[in-house]
């Protein structure tokens, strides 16, 4: 067992906040140590100070990727906070598609974790358009900080238990059985998702066009107030007029600090 001192925790927590925006308070010291303990032992580090020196000196970014995978919590499931998906299907899609002239619907799942959210969005979009989808580009951009969960998302393999909440029609139309316990997302759905590794703490976002819909749910709960405000500002700049931002049910925006208009709990819109 490698113990972590208060000073080692302070340095690591500061590094993590600067790199990933995640705000680790002192009561998370034990949790951080537990998540990194095995990695330090496997790599031959004798202390957290030695590990910190190694990570902070690694200019390649490879050790940052490993650190991000170790400290992030990627808990999600199909139809999580389902009313968001119903609102997206019943209100957002009809409103947006009636006004988009270039047939290019741009949706971003920011913090997509193991893929359940973007796959759900892609299935909703496919179901909404049906035979009318010809000519439309409606791919979903799905990004996450963790390379490990992105690998899971790209594979698109889920257990029967994980798909219990998915409508039977979707399980039949959008998944293919692998064995008695696992199904895989159909290729025609996978083709509608662009998976990319992306750190929301980047100083600039490299997107050439704005998005009609941004889902960033249960991500900003890890950020402090200023980090969250800056990210929301970037989201606003990247939202098309009339577009929407969805955040987690346990999250909210400071209405006097954002230009987004409140629609309903955890749903905001950029006015036309």
The pLDDT-based confidence of 236 (bands split at 50, 70, 90) is very high
Domain-wise residue ranges, the chain? 6-71, 82-269
Instruction: Examine the pLDDT at 251 and tell me if it is beyond 70.
Output: yes
Instruction: Examine the pLDDT at 40 and tell me if it is beyond 80.
Output: yes
Decide which of 3.40.50.170, 3.30.420.40, 3.30.365.10, 3.40.50.150 is the CATH code for 82-269: 3.40.50.150
The pLDDT of residue 222: 85
Q: What is the mean pLDDT of the chain?
A: 93
The pLDDT-based confidence of 75 (bands split at 50, 70, 90) is low
- What digits encode the pLDDT tens for the residues 111-133? 999 999 999 999 999 999 999 98
The pLDDT-based confidence of 263 (bands split at 50, 70, 90) is very high
Ramachandran quadrant class, 198 (left: phi over 0; alpha: psi -120 to 50; beta: rest): beta
Instruction: Examine the pLDDT at 136 and tell me if it is beyond 80.
Output: yes
Task: Name the one residue in this structure whose structure tokens are 């299907």.
Answer: 89
Compute φ and ψ for 245, nearest 5 degrees. Answer: -120, 125
- What digits encode the pLDDT tens for the residues 57-69? 998 888 987 898 7
The pLDDT of residue 66: 84
The pLDDT-based confidence of 242 (bands split at 50, 70, 90) is very high
Instruction: Examine the pLDDT at 71 and tell me if it is beyond 90.
Output: no
Decide which of 1.10.155.10, 3.40.50.970, 3.30.565.10, 3.40.50.300 is the CATH code for 6-71: 1.10.155.10
DSSP string, the chain: -----HHHHHHHHHHHHHHH-----GGGHHHHHHHHHHHHHHHT-SSHHHHHHHHHH-TTSHHHHHHHHHH------TTTTHHHHHHIIIIIHHHHHTT-SSSB--EEEET-TTTHHHHHHHHHHHHHHGGGGTT-B-PEEEEES-HHHHHHHHHTEEETGGGTTS-HHHHHHHEEE-SSSEEEE-HHHHTTEEEEE--TT-SS---SS-EEEEEE-SSGGGS-HHHHHHHHHHHHHTEEEEEEEEE-TT----TTT-SSEEEETTEEE---
The pLDDT of residue 74: 65
């Amino acid at each position: 067992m490698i113990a972590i001192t208060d000073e080692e925790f302070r340095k690591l927590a500061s590094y993590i906040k600067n790199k990933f925006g995640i705000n680790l308070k002192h009561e998370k010291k034990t949790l951080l140590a537990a998540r990194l303990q095995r990695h330090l032992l496997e790599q031959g580090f004798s202390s957290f100070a030695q590990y910190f020196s190694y990570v902070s000196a690694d200019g390649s970014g490879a050790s940052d990727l490993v650190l991000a995978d170790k400290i992030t919590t990627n808990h999600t499931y199909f139809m999580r906070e389902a009313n968001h998906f119903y609102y997206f299907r019943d209100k957002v899609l009809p409103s947006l598609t009636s006004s988009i002239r270039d047939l290019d619907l741009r949706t971003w799942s920011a913090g997509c974790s193991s893929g359940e959210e973007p796959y759900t969005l892609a299935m909703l979009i496919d179901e909404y358009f049906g035979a009318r989808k010809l000519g439309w580009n409606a791919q979903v951009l799905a990004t996450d900080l963790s390379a490990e969960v992105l690998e899971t998302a790209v594979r698109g393999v889920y257990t029967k238990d994980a798909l219990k909440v998915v409508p039977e029609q979707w399980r039949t139309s959008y998944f293919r059985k692998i064995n008695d316990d696992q199904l895989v997302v159909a290729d025609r759905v996978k083709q509608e998702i662009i998976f990319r590794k992306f750190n929301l703490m980047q100083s600039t976002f490299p997107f050439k066009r704005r998005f009609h819909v941004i889902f960033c749910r249960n991500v900003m709960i890890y950020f402090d107030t200023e980090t969250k405000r800056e990210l929301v500002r970037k989201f606003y700049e990247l939202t098309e007029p009339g577009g929407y931002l969805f955040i987690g049910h346990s999250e909210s925006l400071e209405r006097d600090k954002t230009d987004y208009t409140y629609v309903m709990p955890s749903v905001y819109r950029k006015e036309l």
